[in-house]
Amino acid sequence: MADSTTSTGSPGSRILGLTTLLGLAGLLLFAFALTEPDVRLHPTTGEEFGQFDAVRLLYLHVPMAVLTYVAFLTCAVASAGYLLKRGAWWDVTAHASAEVGTVFCGLVLVTGSIWGKPVWNTWWEWGDVRLMTTLVLFLLFTGYLALRRTPAEPQRQARRAAVVALVAVLDIPLINRSVEWWENRTLHQQSTLAELKIEDLTLFTLMLGFVVFGLVFAWLMLHRFRVGWLEQAQADRDMALAIAERHAEMETLDVDAAIGRTGGGK
């Protein structure tokens, strides 16, 4: 186990990590072994219908979608905080939450596509407003991360990124309300919980999914935040070294000039 002085780990983060792993094992047990598939009987024909075992993707996809919102809203709040207070803490938090949120958002798109094939018989539907607005959100924050990698003066870059985050996050209400505002242009149901008639163990497993993926999110945020701090510390140190070297050069030139050794003198 790495010493906390040579890693982003700490006793607290290790406890969180261990709890997360145990939680994931428990979630897999509930999701695959203890819950029943979604099988319903048609009231008149008596035929079986529903999502069958594909419903087990619910415990993965929905918590990650909600945590995507949490990550990007955190990014927006931290970005606003940075613009108001100019503190490094806000900027590092915004960058960390944007990166973790983009990973979650990408996984939401992929797992949603995989879930859509058996349930909707399609991998992707370009006309589905919720899918498209989620894709737009992913692309906006991918652009945000690309902006953070462009060479620029750090404070200017942080300001630009904060403005982009505040604009990008406006897509979240569109995603959330799209199934109501454009109900004829989406394959998503208005309320997953109501549509699936979730109750008892299925509901418990979904809630467990929220808790466990929330722990995954917290662990990733903690470590990514600390990486951001270290990047800032390294950048500050590099800047201080460059300034010190420049001062030393200037002092050498001043001394040379004082003793008449410049311009090919004796």
List residues near other proteins by CB under 8 A: 2, 4-10, 24, 28, 31-32, 37, 52-54, 56-57, 60-61, 64, 82, 85-92, 103, 106-107, 110-111, 114-115, 117-118, 154-155, 158, 216, 219-220, 223-227, 229-237
Q: And the tokens for 245?
A: 């070297």
Strand, coil or helix: 45 = coil
- Give, in order, the Cα–Cα distances in Å from 72 to each of 93, 121, 196, 218: 11, 30, 28, 14
User: How near is the Cβ of 184 to other proteins at its closest, in Å?
Assistant: 27
User: How near is the Cβ of 172 to other proteins at its closest, in Å?
Assistant: 21
Nearer to other proteins, 123 or 181 (CB): 123
Residue reference for tokens 């990047």: 231
Q: Please, which residues bridge with residue 49 across strands?
A: 40
Q: Looking at the chain, how many residues does it have?
A: 266
Nearer to other proteins, 69 or 219 (CB): 219
User: How near is the Cβ of 27 to other proteins at its closest, in Å?
Assistant: 10
User: How near is the Cβ of 227 to other proteins at its closest, in Å?
Assistant: 5
Nearer to other proteins, 135 or 218 (CB): 218
Q: Name residues whose C-beta falls within 8 Å of residue 28's C-beta, 6 or more positions apart in sequence.
A: none
Nearer to other proteins, 91 or 128 (CB): 91
Q: For 17-95, where are the E strands, in sequence order?
A: 38-41, 48-52
Nearer to other proteins, 103 or 136 (CB): 103
User: How near is the Cβ of 237 to other proteins at its closest, in Å?
Assistant: 7
Q: And the tokens for 196?
A: 């699936």
The rounded distance, in Å, linking the Cα atoms of 96 and 81 is 14
